[in-house]
Structures are given as structure tokens and as C-alpha cells.
Amino acid sequence: MKLAYLIFIPLFVALTSCDSSDDPDPEPSLVILEDSFSETEVAGELRIPVTIANDGLTLEKVSIIIDDNLNSEITDVSKFDDQVTINLLEQKQYEVEITAMFSSDVTATDSIMINIGSTINVPTDFNTIQAAIDSAMDGELILVENGTYNENITILNKRIGIASKYSQTGDKNDIQNTIIDGQGESVFTVTDSDGSKIVGLTITNGEDAISTNSKLYISHNIIDSNIDGIDYEGGGGFALNNTLTNNTDDAIDFDGSTAALVKNNILKDNLDDGIEIRLHEYAGDTLEIIITENSIINSGEDGIQIIDYPDVSDRNITISRNIIANTTMAAIGLMPDGITIEDYQGAPIPEPINIFNNTIVANNYGITGGANLRAINNIISDTTNIALKNQTADSIVSHNLLWNNGTDVENSNTQSDTLVTADPILSVEYVPGAGSPAIDAGTTTITVGDDQILVVGDAYFSDSTPDIGAKEVSE
């Protein structure tokens, strides 16, 4: 039986492991992907992509050393995806060494030299953010002092950073006190500026808070009371640790040829969709859209809406470890033919959509649609109408917990022998309580023909089997 991997999983080593039973001297490796870096990087938070091959050993710890000093250690390897995050603030060259420690006292190490650019201060060096941007060179950081800035900012053909003092201090008050007000027009318009960063700002009163066709690093921002929050017209990148609230349309829009990781954000009280994904015509290298570990609460239409278009595009969508609750319409709604007004059709979208280990609670509908959708290890409870509707054709619905729904299943390829129908005993934080039937009731893999599809990497859970739902309980 061959092993196929179609999804992003937290522990990259699981993708590259191999059997070392015939090898008396295992030789695991760690490689930093240096092609991801430019000659000069922007000061602040930096994600370093790595690949690890464990050669049959168990990864136990990852250490990060900067200029011969221990910077941090990752001892819970379930928190290690395929990126190491560091914070480099000074204009200088740093040596960064990353070491993976395995069982049997075996290690693997790689290092890289990283040059950090200079910092421009607003309003000390320039009165406005736009003036600072116009002056900035690639790799420079624009550090914005606390205050309110009524600006409509354009970044064109530059790789720069715009950040509040939060990027230096870690004080969340600096986010709340550094306000960019768009006065009804788009606040940030970013064009052809891959690698730029927007960090630690409050972005408000815009048509779009951020409109971009570029691969951006968007983190630790408050995006509040705009029309759209983040509007991807292409590009993508990373949206991490942001709070998107009270936007009158969607919190995050995916249009065009966009690939992104959307992780650990709070999307709450947005008046239309939490996340809207339009599957516009696209052919080429597969676009990976990964939506993981977010809280999507009180959306005025769908929590996540995926909109089909006539051609089958080269996209994979993975929705994992999210809390989706109190949605007015569907938690995850699939729509046909460019239609965006939810009507609960449950469109047979052919692109692969993986919905793994989510907790979906108190929505009008749960998951609707999908012709190539895998819904595995999800809790769906307290749904007003139908929890699972129209997962047809090549879809697989397995190892889910359904409870207190108006209707559990309608026209869905549900594997009834794996279905759990009992109270998940969730806390107010959506964590299964003691004795919950969700604990240890999930699966790590599913079988599709001759292929075995990985759902949860072994490092993500400590017991013999994973839990159902977004929150893993250690017992």
C-alpha cells in the first residue's frame, strides 16, 4: 500500500521519515531552505523554513542558536511545523544555527548567515508612513511610533516592513495604540512587493484594510471596522496571529492565484463571511490554501465559504484545527457558479478539500457540499438544521462526532461505522472534558483505494490515537 500525503501537517519530519531497520548508523538530516531568503531581510519576526529527514529516529527537540548564543528550544515537537520563528532586530549580520536532536543522541545541524536591514522611524525621520515607504530600500523596516495616522498607504515594487513598536517590545498596547485610519478608502494597497511585512498595527475604517497581489507576512494586527479585512487578489503568504473583527463584508478574501497559510487568527463578528475563497480559473503549480488553528466566531453569513467556477483549478484546500461557532448560515458552505449568497445548495466542488479535526458548534448548517471533500475527525454539534449535507462522489466522511443537530446527515458519504453520536462535553473554550467520547476516538489515516491519506501526524497527540475535534486533550 503506497502512502500519499495531500495536506499540510504540523510535523514536517513525518513527511520525510524512512525505515532505518537495515541501517545500523542512521543519518538524519536538517536543511535550511536558503533560497527563501533575500540578500537583506527586514528586521523583526522571521520564519526560517527547514526540512528534516529523521531516518527512522524520533525527533525530540529543536534548538536555535544565534551568534553562538542559545535563542530558544522547541521541546514540544508537535509545535514544530516546517518553520522556525526568530526575532532579529538590529541592523547587522547574524549567524543562525538550527539543530534537530533525535533519539539515540543523534543530531543534525544546518546554519545560515542573515543580513538585517536598517530601520526608518516615523515620525522622527519622516512625518508620514507613506513618505518613509517612498524613501525605503529593500530590506528596511519602517518603525511607527504610537499614534493615529490618517493615511492610504501604497507599497509598490518594494520588499519592506511596516510595524509598530510591538515588533520590538512585544507589548500588545503598542498594537492598540498604533492606528492607521483609511478614512473610507483602502488602508494598505500592496502591489508586486513579495516578502513585505505588516506587523503589530490597528488598521481601521478602510474599504480594504489590506489589498494585495503579493506574498506578505501579516501578523499580530488588529483589523477592525473595515469593509473587507485582508483582500488577497493574488500572492498570499502568511496571515498569523491577527484579530479581525467588525468588518462589514469578509474578514479574509481569497481571489486570483493565491496560496497562503492562515493560522492562529481570531475572526469574530464580521458581517459576511469569516473567510471567502473564490476558485477562479487557474492552472499551474498547485496553490495550497491552509486554514488552521483559527477561531471563526459569529460570522454574519458563512464561517468559511468556498465558491466554485466552471473549470477545475489546481488548488488544494486544508481546513484543520479551527473553532467555527455561532455562524448565521453555514460553518463551511460550498457554493456553485460564482454565487456568493448562501442558499445551502452544497455544491459538488471537485477541487480537493480536506476538513480535519475542527470543532463546529451552534451554526445554522454545518458542512455543505463537496465532490472531493474529506471530512475527518470533526465535532459538529448543536447545528440548527443539517450537520453534513451533500458530500458526494469521491468525498469521504469518517470518524466524526455528531451531537444535538437538527439533522445529522443528508445525502452524505458518511461511514456510519466510524460515527460517534454522543455529547462531546465541551468546555466554554471548546475543549472536550473528562469522559468525553471525542477523546482518543479519531484516526490518523484514511484509506482511499490503494492510498493511505495522513490526517494527523503522530507528534500531534500523546496518546495511542488522536482525539476528534480541534483541541487535543492530554490524558
pLDDT tens for each residue of 95-126: 999 999 998 889 999 999 999 999 999 999 99
CATH assignment, 2-115: 2.60.40.10
**pTM given for the model:** 0.91
Compute φ and ψ for 458, nearest 5 degrees: -55, -30
Nearest-angstrom CA–CA distance, 197 and 131: 17
Q: What pLDDT is stored for residue 59 in this prediction?
A: 86
Neighbours of 436 (CB within 10 A): 23
Q: With contact defined as beta carbons under 8 Å apart, do 358 and 323 qualify? A: yes
Domains 2-115 and 119-460 share a fold: no
Nearest-angstrom CA–CA distance, 144 and 127: 10
Residue ranges covered by each domain of the chain = 2-115, 119-460
Span 372-389, average pLDDT? 98
Q: Exposed (0-12), middle (13-18) or buried (19+): which is 464, by Cβ within 10 Å? A: exposed
How distant is the alpha carbon of residue 100 from its chain centre? 24
**DSSP summary character for residue 466:** P
Q: What pLDDT is stored for residue 83 in this prediction?
A: 83
Nearest-angstrom CA–CA distance, 315 and 83: 22
Compute φ and ψ for 168, nearest 5 degrees: -100, -35
Cα 314 to Cα 167, 205, 281, 341: the distances in Å are 36, 35, 9, 24
Cα 250 to Cα 10, 222, 281, 394: the distances in Å are 27, 15, 21, 30
Q: What pLDDT is stored for residue 54 in this prediction?
A: 80
pLDDT tens for each residue of 399-424: 999 999 999 999 999 999 999 999 99
Q: What pLDDT is stored for residue 21 in this prediction?
A: 43
C-alpha cell recorded at residue 312? 477545475
Q: Which residues pair with 170 in a beta bridge?
A: none
Span 360-365, average pLDDT? 98
Q: What pLDDT is stored for residue 462 in this prediction?
A: 64
Alpha helices, DSSP H, located in 333-460: none
C-alpha cell recorded at residue 462? 500523546
Q: What CATH fold (topology level) applies to the domain 119-460?
A: Pectate Lyase C-like (2.160.20)
C-alpha cell recorded at residue 434? 473528562
Span 189-214, average pLDDT? 98
Q: What pLDDT is stored for residue 11 in this prediction?
A: 33
